[in-house]
Amino acid sequence: MPPSALRIGLIGAGRMGTAHAGFIAREEETVLVGVADPFSSALAEAEGVPHFADHNALLDPDGATGLDAVIVANPNGAHVATALDCIAAGVPTLLEKPVAVDHAEAARLIAAEAASNVPVLVGHHRRHHPAATAARELISAGAIGRLVGVSGIWTTRKDDTYFDAAWRRKKGAGVMLINLVHDLDLMRHLCGEIVAVQAATSNAVRGHAVEDTASVVLTFADGALGSLLVSDAVVAPWGWDQATEDDPTYPYRPDTSCYSIAGTTGSLAFPQLAHYFHDGGAAGDWMRPLSLRYEPKGAGDSYTNQLRHFVRVARGECAPLVSIADAARTLAVVEAAGRAAASGRTEPVPA
Ligand SMILES: NC(=O)c1ccc[n+]([C@@H]2O[C@H](COP(=O)([O-])OP(=O)(O)OC[C@H]3O[C@@H](n4cnc5c(N)ncnc54)[C@H](O)[C@@H]3O)[C@@H](O)[C@H]2O)c1
């Protein structure tokens, strides 16, 4: 580890916190210097770093760790209060998604960040995937013509022990805030702002207070339409976690894609970047065979690329790719979907 490595503290030492500790250990430019978690010291002990029951002790600028930056991976409902403490302590922060559990909370964080010069990156890691970078460039360069529609799917069966943590069964969690939020964020990144939503939700399989399944219909600002189906209660291979090699915890299925992105002159299957089009460039019709080209993309996984980006953000070398305000906009879409599911009507997404 070079002496210049970014000294990172971790707040929240559960599944995601443990994953972040692994990403930090793999990177040359980062080192873990302390872990705060009120309920467990196991990760700190395993990593051989100091443990803090109170994250404010970890953040103390006069404390023993001498940290440069912090990653927050505690339960959703604690994000805003914790991030406010990080901003007050002047520590650059990578805050796990969702940025908050509702838009009013997120607004408090936006105001605190604006009044400080402390950078906060929100952990919508998918935007850092090389296929996301390449797809965004292809779409904005007109490679599939005018965007007409997008269809996405995230379906899997989470292990039952996942729901042993009570917070995952209650308001503030659910498949929309935990998983759909990622798909919606990437849709916004690839296809533009979402202005209206229709939705239906169900908790019929798991029977928790929060939904296990949701279906949403999206209208984008430029008139394109989209649909997403998400469920954590089905056995199926379709979704980001199986279609990418982002996290080895989830067996990789190279034959599945999670988004079909369709335009007037072509379409893209994601993340393979299988590009379908008619030779000659003009729009053909359904009786003409389609050509297929696999578009090039860069290397690396989302989490590693996100961590490398965070190092640059913490050093003041670039602005966060996902700001609090940007992530709050994604949260506003999730909230609009919740309202639409309750009302049965199309709900606008407030600007
Ligand atoms: N980016 C991703 O792909 C991704 C994936 C999974 C989870 N997450 C997010 O990461 C966060 C953590 O999820 P998880 O699955 O690791 O949950 P988890 O329940 O496994 O872990 C949460 C940890 O936080 C600790 N904790 C509780 N209150 C705390 C507090 N006030 N301060 C510090 N620690 C506290 C708990 O003891 C636990 O160890 C959630 O916000 C979740 O949405 C993101």
Residues 6+ apart with CB under 8 A from 280: none
Query: 325 alpha carbon to ligand 1 midpoint, in Å?
Result: 21
CATH of the domain at 83: 3.40.50.720
Determine which residue's CA is closest to atom 38 belonging to ligand 1.
Answer: 14
Q: Is 59 in the pocket of ligand 1 (CB under 6 A)?
A: no
| Domain assignment present for 19 | yes
Best CA proximity match to 316, nearest among 3, 1, 6: 6
Question: What pLDDT was estimated at residue 284?
Answer: 84
Task: Pinpoint the alpha helices (H) of the chain.
Answer: 15-26, 42-47, 55-59, 79-88, 103-114, 130-140, 174-175, 181-191, 240-243, 302-314, 324-343
- What mean pLDDT is reported for the chain? 95
Residue 35 shares a structural domain with residue 141: no
Distance CA 215, CA 3 (A): 49
39 lines ligand 1 (CB under 6 A): yes
Residue 171, domain CATH? 3.30.360.10
Percent of the chain residues past pLDDT 90, beyond the cut: 91
Residue 147 lies in a domain: yes
Give the domain range for residue 151: 127-300+332-348
**Secondary structure (DSSP) of 95-111:** EPSSS-SSHHHHHHHHH
Contact 75 CB / ligand 1 (< 6 Å) = yes
**What local confidence, expressed as pLDDT, does residue 63 receive?**
78
- Please give the pLDDT value at position 172: 86
Of residues 103 and 321, more confidently modeled: 321
- For residues 90 and 158, membership in a common domain is answered with no
Instruction: Note the pLDDT tens digit of each residue in 248-304.
Output: 889 999 999 999 999 999 999 999 999 999 997 667 899 999 999 999 999 889 999
Alpha-carbon 327 to chain mean position: 9
User: In sequence order, what are the beta bridge partners of 267?
Assistant: 262, 276
Give residue 78 CA to ligand 1 midpoint distance, Å: 9
Q: Is 141 a member of any domain?
A: yes
Q: Are 119 and 263 contained in the same domain? A: no
DSSP symbols for 200-269: EEE-TTT--SS-SEEEEEEEETTS-EEEEEEESBS----SHHHHS-S-TTS---TT--SEEEEESSEEEE
Mean pLDDT of 114-118: 93
Q: Which amino acid is at 51?
A: H
Backbone φ, ψ for residue 157 (5° rounding): -115, 110
Residues 60 and 148 in one domain: no
| In the block, residue with structure tokens 């003009």 | 282
Both 91 and 140 in one domain: the answer is: no
- The reported pLDDT for the residue numbered 305 is 96
Q: What residue owns the CA closest to ligand 1's atom 21?
A: 14
Residue with CA closest to ligand 1 atom 1: 123
The answer to whether residues 84 and 159 belong to one domain is: no
pLDDT band at 163, cuts 50/70/90?
very high
Q: Is residue 22 part of a domain?
A: yes
pLDDT of 227: 98
Mark whether 100 and 154 lie in a shared domain: no
**Is the Cβ atom of 179 under 6 angstroms away from ligand 1?**
no
Ligand 1 centroid to residue 13 C-alpha, Å: 7
Ligand 1 atom nearest to CA at 76:
41
330 CB less than 6 Å from ligand 1? no
Q: For residue 247, is it within any domain?
A: yes
State which of 11, 16, 55 you would mutate to test the pocket of ligand 1, scoring each by most atoms of that ligand within 8 A of its C-beta: 16
| DSSP letter, residue 127 | G
Q: Determine if ligand 1 sits within 6 Å of the CB of residue 96.
A: yes
- Please tell me the distance between residue 9's alpha carbon and the centre of ligand 1 in angstroms: 14
Is there a domain that residue 1 lies in?
Answer: no
Q: Do residue 25 and residue 79 come from a single domain?
A: yes
pLDDT reported for residue 280: 77
Amino acid at 294: Y
- Classify residue 326: in a domain, yes or no: no
- pLDDT score at 2: 74
How many other β-carbons are positioned within 10 Å of the β-carbon of residue 286?
Answer: 5
6 vs 189: CA distance, rounded Å:
28
Do 151 and 260 have their domain in common?
A: yes
| CA of 61 relative to ligand 1 center, distance in Å | 24
Number of independent structural domains in the chain: 2
**pLDDT reported for residue 281:** 67
Q: For residue 277, how far is its CA from the centre of ligand 1 (angstroms)?
A: 43
Going by C-alpha positions, the residue among 43, 17, 45, 20 that lies closest to residue 30 is 20
Centre of ligand 1 to C-alpha 36, Å, is 12
267 and 340 within one domain: yes
- N-term to C-term CA, the chain: 44
**Span 165-222, pLDDT tens digits:** 999 999 989 999 999 999 999 999 999 999 999 999 999 999 999 999 999 999 999 9
Within-domain flag for 327? no
The one-letter amino acid code at 56 reads: N
Residues 174, 254, single domain; the answer is yes
DSSP helix/strand/coil, 70: strand
186 and 219 inside one domain: yes
Tokens representing 252 are 């990789």
Query: Which residue's alpha carbon is at the smallest distance from atom 39 of ligand 1?
Result: 14
Q: 161 pLDDT exceeds 90?
A: yes
Is the pLDDT confidence value at 64 over 90? no
Distance 260 CA to ligand 1 centre (A): 31
In the block, residue with structure tokens 């006069």: 62
